[in-house]
Structure 1
Amino acid sequence: MTKPPTDLAEELRLQVKDRKSYLGVIDRLNKASVEKHWEAYADIPWDDPDFVVDKNDPRWILPPVDRLGETEWYRSQPPEIQAQIGLWRVATAMKIGLQFENLLKRGLLNYAYRLPNGRPEFRYVYHETTEECHHGMMFQEFVNRTNLPIRGMPRALSVIAQVTPLIPLINTELFFVFVLGGEDPIDYVQRKSLKGGHIKHPLEETIMRIHIAEEARHISFARHYLRHRVPGMPRLRRRFLGLATPAILGVMARIMLSPPGPMVRHFRIPADVVREAYKSEAAQDEIRNSVGKIRELMTELGVVTPVNKRIWQAFGIWDKPGDRRAPKAA
């Protein structure tokens, strides 16, 4: 006898096979957003002495599991420099996260703008947008408290990214691939960090736990939206989706997981150390693993073909379905 789902996450992992079950998922997500949500300035004790952000705090030192943290160059630095580099990494991830979520919110609202009356997606999109607003506030508040010159996305990429909110007006399926391309890699890293006990500062841990809990709903909606919509797409649109998906994921995963250029220049990290940390086979495995769930989803939906699989391979993010490997030691 099949064991019934025990929580919302398990229930939403069931495949949506028809419109009725798809609408049921949206209804459960809407209820979950009402029953459990957080506010940036009500649920985080910013002024708690234990939550103070000190750039020399040893709790920011990168753990050996971090590719840079395990290099001999990093371990040879004074403890305060190690802490500052670790804090810079955390703050940059949050800055890029809030920039991505800014694009996402604008795209979601463009999607909702054209929804007919009575569509349950409208309510869900506004729940998600509200939650993303609070994520942006807590990320920016954290960045502000570091007093570091954090920039986030590279300037040229930030300019190009401004077209993203317009994608739902042309192709909503492609937009939700973009959503997963930004959310899945950071969710992968955050869950792995918490599970491994690598987060030492209580403020970072609090922000991360809030983010993971609410992003689980956002990721579920995007995945179930694609499951519901992609099978009915016209052939040419499916073909375009298949070609664009690996390019989006390849770029997004590297943005989320690569070292920020300003940090490398500020601390004068040698080029060979950057290559050792982020160009190694282990680092490439990490990038490949971070998009494993959406790669499996697109394979399940029949979007991956022998032709576009070469694009996945060219971006270094292809593995056989179900073959998400544990990263090898560098």
Structure 2
Amino acid sequence: MDDTIALNGTDQAGEQADQGDVARRLLRSSELMSFDPAREVDWETPLDAAFHGASPEWSTLYGTAYWDEMSPEQQRELTRQESASVASTGIWFEMILQQMMLRDYYATDFTDPAFQWALTEIADECRHSIMFARGVAKLGARPYRPKRSVIELGRAFKALAGGETAYAAILVAEEVLDVMQRDWMRDERVAPFVRTINNIHVVEESRHMKFARDEVRERMKGAGLLRRQVDAVAVASAAYFIVTSMVSDDVYAAAGLDRRRAVREARANEHHKSMVRSSCAGLMEFLGSAGLLTPPARAIYRRANLI
């Protein structure tokens, strides 16, 4: 027996109208409040090494004995490398996101506002990826990539994930970035061009998160127990690999630190774990309301220090 509840024609028409209204509002918002990073970001002024790349409190080593031993110059270099790693991970997942959305809307009604919004979001993500790439270069960092195993898992995920699983995973990635970037964009210790990048991303991603939340809610209506259980674990697994890939272990050597000691202290850093957990409080509340916070999923989130 199918684990979904069939909707009658009236309900389907109502849902389509609601989704169309949301898409039209998002399209209008995009027209009024979008940015061109090529023009908005100061790419010409040379990097000022007196600035951090991210708020120090978000560094994976902040609050450790190693952080206290580092010079201010080393601390700033580390946050620049960590910022570059987060941006690199953002590019990796935005490429996955774009492919999932294109697949989801392939051969659908292109007069539908939801179809047009999907392409608008994909265009935003293309600009964001270029913006992040230029930001990594300006920070004086090399591209950071997830481990090969994670890249291959991402390749499978983007090919197979669909429906609420895809949109919930998109939401997880965007929500985690959103909280930290809101802090960075307001922090005058952070390089001005990085603050501008974060501001652009926060403003434009707020629309993407609204769309993803609505898609998850709609697609979970009537979902049966088995489907919820499978979706919850799939989303939690995606979240685990996204979050644990944000800051590469290679940033420590790039910042001139002892890689082995830095990795050891970062993994035991309760301050950073607490920052990540607090940033995910709203996300976990939403996933719970959508029926995607099952006991097995909770165990995965706990392992990733998201709860």
- Which residue does 2:50 correspond to in 1? 58
- How far apart are residue 79 of structure 1 and its match? 4.0
What CA RMSD, in Å, does the superposition of the two structures yield over aligned residues? 2.6
Counterpart residue number, 2:277 = 288
- State the shift of 1:279 in Å: 2.3
Shift in alpha-carbon separation, 1:235–1:249, aligned structure 2, 3 A: same
Q: Deviations over 1:166-191 (max 9, x none)?
A: 235xx311111110121111111111
Matches of 2:287 and 2:174 in 1, distance apart? 16
Question: Which of these residues, 104, 108, 111, is aligned with residue 111 of structure 1?
Answer: 104
Post-superposition Cα deviations, 1:265-311, rounded to whole Å, max 9, x if no partner, equal 34233544444344233332233233322321121123334565444
Q: 1:70 to 1:243 in 2, by over 3 A?
A: closer
- With over 3 angstroms needed to count, the CA separation of the structure-2 counterparts of 1:208 and 1:179, relative to structure 1, is same
Q: Distance in 2 between matches of 1:100 and 1:64?
A: 24
- Between the two proteins, the alignment pairs up a number of residues equal to 292
Query: 1:74, CA displacement in angstroms?
Result: 3.1
Q: 1:172 aligns with which of 163, 180, 184?
A: 163
User: Contact 1:250/1:315 (CA < 8 Å) preserved in 2?
Assistant: yes
Higher helix share: 2
Select which of 52, 57, 61 maps to 1:68.
61
In the TM superposition, 1:269-284 aligns within 5 A as 269=258, 271-284=260-273
2:23–2:117 Cα contact (<8 Å) kept: yes
Distance apart, 1:39 and its partner CA: 1.6
What's the offset of the Cα at 1:61? 7.0
Q: Which has the higher contact order (CA 8 A, sep 6+)?
A: 2
Does residue 249 in structure 1 map to residue 242 in structure 2?
Answer: no
Match of 2:132 in 1: 139
CA distance in 2, matches of 1:99, 1:306: 29
Q: Which residue of 2 aligns with 1:323?
A: none
Taking structure 1 as the reference length, the TM-score comes to: 0.79
Give 1:255 deviation, angstroms: 2.1
Residue aligning to 1:42: 39
| Partner of residue 224, structure 1 | 214
Q: Provide the secondary structure at the position in 2 that maps to 1:268.
A: coil
Cα distance in 2 between the residues matched to 1:301 and 1:106: 24
Aligned partner of 2:47: which letter?
V
Equivalent residue letter for 1:165: K
The match for 2:250 among 241, 262, 267 is 262
* Distance in structure 1 (CA, Å) of the matches to 2:250 and 2:219: 40
2:143 paired with 1:153: no
Q: Percent identity?
A: 23
Which residue of structure 1 lines up, in the alignment, with residue 202 of structure 2?
212
The one-character-per-residue Cα deviations of 1:225-246 (angstroms, maximum 9, x if unpaired) are 1111211334432221122222
Query: Which of 291, 294, 298 pairs up with 1:302?
Result: 291
